[in-house]
Amino acid sequence: MPDANKVSLKVILVGEGGVGKTSLIKQYVHAHFDEKYIKTLGTNVYRKEVRVEKDGKNYNVHLQIWDILGQKVFQTIIKSAFKGTRGVMFVCDVTEKATLENLDIWIKYALDYGQSSAFTFIGNKSDLPNHRFSKADVEAYAKPYNGTSLVTSAKTGDQVEQAFKDLATSIINERYATIPDPPPATPVLEPVRETIKAEDQIITEFCNEAGGFQISMPIVRERFHKLGVDFENPSRNDLEKVIMSLVEYVMFIKGENEAHELEKRLYAILRKYGLE
Ligand code: G3D
Ligand code: MG
């Protein structure tokens, strides 16, 4: 732990789509954001200060909170998003048993792609009736990873602040030192269509060219929206429209040569997946 009392830490929320990741962040950060665009595409980053005490000393922790898309198929985005992550919040929904079991794949990603991280496990939607598993089940899940666990409600705000605070505290206390090997089981993933794989790489390639994910994902969202392309189910022609639109953008910000080079690379991705 450095002596400086100010620490900046990147954390990330992961888990099945619909468990309440974005809602938890909203509740915690009190942020307003534009959800007109396709909900789960890419990543959003938020900031919040939290005070953590260790050995009688107060730390001002500057949390950089990453909200990742719910899609398991976007490997390249997931991989980049985990880079430099010091804390992972695994979120499931207490009214859906499968959302707990499916955390296995996210644990695997976190261990494969993340640096050593502190883990916290959250059973969200506690305000709803018909819980399918309990706080003890979440706790049991967290145990092998030295993870903390809590049951929260992003709707009422119950335990939300505590969840983020626990994560920050775990990081500061370096509880992540003894994380075991990844779980052997590979949970079921939907078969990934070639168009989705190509789309994933096209977006990644564009973001790399246009200044990184943080800057470029809003542009990607806007373009998909404008073109009316369903990002979860693009056709081959949709991808071509997307390519033209992204190339046009790079032409505008970087010039003709860069745009032309990008265009070649993006068409090579289509070819690679037999979509030409
Ligand atoms: P995600 O980011 O994990 O995909 P979201 O999940 O935050 O988008 O939440 C998915 C839906 O669950 C949203 O409903 C949201 O309002 C609801 N939700 C999230 N957290 C809670 C909670 O603690 N309690 C209850 N009752 N609902 C919650 P909609 O209908 O907007 O899709
Ligand atoms: Mg979300």
pLDDT at 57: 78
CB of residue 23 inside a 6 A radius of ligand 1: yes
Quickly tell me which residue has 């959302």 as its tokens.
99
Predicted confidence (pLDDT) per residue in 146-161, tens digit: 899 999 999 999 999 9
Pocket flag, ligand 1, residue 159 (CB < 6 Å): no
- Closest ligand 1 atom to residue 154 Cα is 23
Ligand 1 contact, 10 CB (< 6 A):
no
Task: Give how far the C-alpha of residue 9 lies from the chain's centroid of Cα atoms, to the nearest Å.
Answer: 15
Ligand 1 mean position to 157 CA, how many Å?
Answer: 12
Pocket probe for ligand 1: among 14, 23, 89, the residue whose CB has the most ligand atoms within 8 Å is 23
Position 72 pLDDT exceeds 80:
no
Question: How many whole angstroms separate alpha carbon 124 and alpha carbon 18?
Answer: 10
DSSP letters, 166-180, are HHHHHHHTTGGGG--
Residues, beta carbon < 5 Å, ion ligand 2:
21-22
Q: Using alpha carbons, list the distances in angstroms from residue 79 to 74, 113, 187, 267.
A: 9, 6, 18, 23
Cα 68 to averaged position of ligand 1 atoms, centre (Å): 15
- Among the bound ligands, name the one nearest to the CA of residue 19: 1
Query: 45 near 214, Cβ under 8 Å?
Result: yes
Ligand 1 atom 32, closest CA: 18
Query: Does the pTM exceed 0.85?
Result: no
Q: Report the separation in Å between the CA atom of 133 and the middle of ligand 1, taken as the mean of its atom positions.
A: 18
How does strand 57-68 pair with strand 43-54?
Answer: antiparallel
pLDDT tens digits along 185-237: 444 444 557 888 888 889 888 988 998 777 788 888 889 989 999 877 889 99
What average pLDDT does the chain have? 82
**Ligand 2 mean position, distance from CA 273 (Å):** 28
Ligand 2 centre from 56 Cα, in Å?
A: 36
User: Is 20 touching ligand 1 by the criterion CB < 6 Å?
Assistant: yes
Please determine, for residue 180, whether its predicted confidence score (pLDDT) is greater than 70.
no
pLDDT one-digit tens code per residue, 21-51: 989 998 998 754 444 333 345 567 788 888 8
Query: By three-state DSSP, how is residue 154 classified?
Result: coil
Q: Which residues contact 217 (CB under 8 A, 6 or more apart)?
A: 41, 42, 43, 44, 203, 207
